[in-house]
Structure 1
């Protein structure tokens, strides 16, 4: 999957949108009505299909990128800022998962790591009175520590006992879900006398500043995510530590012979990946939600798996994949409100992208692309065949 080229990735997205368009058309009442006299007036059917599919995707675009029907410029550009806001935890978690994938570890525990990062950042955010810059900085560091420690558990178990990281991180995800539900019932996290599972609001000094002012939700967490992408690029391509990560991912036995501690690498890969996912939790509580709730992580940790795969575990690709999935989330509500298309179609698109990204040979077969690594016929051989 990670070796597929960008063309296969782009075609996987196109194929997912085409198949989702079939479902959109099938669920449309006008299409269903015109299908009853398809052979008598096929034009009506084709027009209805086009209106249903194009209308849904236009609404999706307007809700995710630019709303040309808005009355003011601020409202017109607000969709792209919402896409950027929603993409922040996806980018953070996707970067962390990408590091694990390139190191040969299938870490699927970003959901739990986001939750732990949110718990640590949220507590620092509402429990302490600190100066503005220092408060934000400590909350971000706390989130990275929380996510790193949580992922480090899986790394230590992998290094010491050989426990498979997939099983361990799945269990840690479940534990994290119940852990946040528990801590929100404790006196340290309860809001006054309220019994609702929600923390006190975070202090203003702990919140990420807004990038474009009070009219938009876009916060400085997006800039931090871009900085994290640059850091991951440097770490994996320009540092000795990153070289060790990639060496273990390519061939653990060869890396061991070369003097690299594979066990220590497993631990550090998980810690770094968890710290990045924990920053995604910080973005949620310090920037978007401004409060800690049991649903603060939503499904970002699971969606980040697709983001990392779609971006081929590379920082730039992960950023673009995060924006794509952020756009699908942000635009899905507009698509449902304007056209009546079920928002579940967005989940279908995401699922189909996962399917096709996980099966590059299927995409190549549909579009008649040569197999990965297949040699191209030489000019000499082609000339001989022509003469024959």
Structure 2
């Protein structure tokens, strides 16, 4: 009995790894039920990702915003908050960067690009801080406010593009000035002109910052303490309200940066969006799969990016609808959330291996 309890209380990478395997298995079962060959489908998926330098570079590009939005959700979660507003913060960061990149033409690149990045990140942080303020000062649940702010951000961004940035006769803004671009031309050339940009480096640095700030600084300790128990943190003399707002602000900056680099490094203009891009919502799944650990988020975002970009390969190579890859992703998230099922599946294998070692 003690062995069983010890196994079920273990904190390791076994659960997400097992969830990934079970997700792929479930996806294969669905494909078989639909008359598709799962081996061919998965082979086509990975061939699409790793088959040539261009597709591999585009996969890295797809992974980058998922890292940042995943970090946004994970950071807030570590402070005891559930940030569902990564989508809105992504859009606000994108819009701020677009405005600076278009309206402040004439600046040298060494000033223009950093300014657009900083403005977009700060606006994303401030957008999230609205929900943090309402939570801290009025006790309003951040899940509700961040969801509502997502819609406000979408319509505010479309209004800004329509009234201040619109390219005449088009449903998009004019092109962002080249001086605000964060593309990496020399690296793109190495990857057959894949749309690589500085955002990938920023995303990795953001994960490192996440780790050192939360686990190596006094402020990070306070944020984690507030996340564990607000009453104990307040009793210890910590300013709970200030830390809630701070956590949401930093979380929003991560999501804002994701939007900044998408518009400055990938598209170089902003469209009038009929719906949200979806990166903020995918960030929730990435954070869950990464167990809200910054380096776990890096790995989870890589998996999601590979599956998302590679889904087109399934369609062309195996005639499998790309929507089926969402079933695989959804299954992985389900098994991560339903950890009891995963433990029930892998526990016999675990104990069998331990018994063989003893023998």
The 1:165/1:212 distance shift into structure 2, 3 A limit, reads same
- Residue equivalent to 1:290: 268
- Contact 2:132–2:249 (8 Å) recurs in 1: yes
The CA distance in 2 between the partners of 1:349 and 1:261, in whole Å, is: 43
CA distance in 2 between counterparts of 1:318 and 1:369 reads 28
State yes or no: 1:213 paired with 2:188.
Answer: yes
Per the alignment, residue 44 of structure 1 pairs with none
Check conservation: 2:183, 2:195, Cα contact below 8 A: no
Secondary structure of the structure 2 residue equivalent to 1:287: helix
Q: Unpaired segments of 5 or more residues in structure 1?
A: 32-51, 68-75, 383-388
User: How many angstroms does 1:237 deviate by?
Assistant: 1.1
The verdict on how the C-alpha distance between 1:182 and 1:251 changes in structure 2, with shifts beyond 3 A counting, is same
- TM-score (ref. length: structure 1): 0.84
Asked if 1:199 corresponds to 2:194, the answer is no
Q: Is the 8 A contact 1:115 1:180 kept in 2?
A: yes
How far did 1:323 drift? Answer: 1.1
Q: 1:288 to 1:4 in 2, by over 3 A?
A: farther
Q: Alignment partner for residue 306 of structure 1, among 258, 281, 285?
A: 285
Partners of 1:231 and 1:3 lie apart in 2 by 27
Rounded to whole Å, the distance in 2 between the matches of 1:3 and 1:336 is 39
RMSD, aligned α-carbons: 2.2
CA 1:100–1:327: 2 relative to 1, 3 Å: same
Task: Give the 3-state SS of the residue equivalent to 1:79 in structure 2.
Answer: helix
Which one has more relative contact order, counting CA pairs under 8 Å at least 6 apart?
A: 2
Equivalent in the alignment of 1:322? 301
1:62 aligns with 2:69: no
Separation of aligned partners in 2, 1:334 and 1:63? 5
TM (norm. structure 2) is 0.90
Indicate conservation of the 8 Å contact 2:44/2:314, yes or no.
yes
Contact map agreement 1:104 1:248 (CA 8 A) in 2: yes
Q: Deviations over 1:223-273 (max 9, x none)?
A: 111111111111111111111111111111111111111111110000000
Match of 1:73 in 2: none
Residue 290 of structure 1: how far off its partner (Å): 1.2
Distance 1:58 1:232 in 2: 35
Q: Which residue of 2 aligns with 1:53?
A: 38
Count of aligned positions: 341
- 1:11-50 equivalent positions in 2, closer than 5 A: 11-28=18-35
- Report which of the two has the higher share of helix: 2
1:264-305, Cα deviation, whole Å (9 max, x unpaired):
111000000001100000011011111112349511000000
Partner of 1:144: 121
Q: Tell me if the contact between 1:114 and 1:297 (Cα under 8 Å) persists in the aligned partners.
A: no
1:174 partnered with 2:151: yes
Question: In structure 2, what is the Cα distance between the partners aligned to 1:225 and 1:77?
Answer: 21
State yes or no: 1:5 paired with 2:22: no
Q: Tell me the equivalent position of 2:222.
A: 244
For residue 57 of structure 1, report the CA deviation from its aligned partner: 0.2
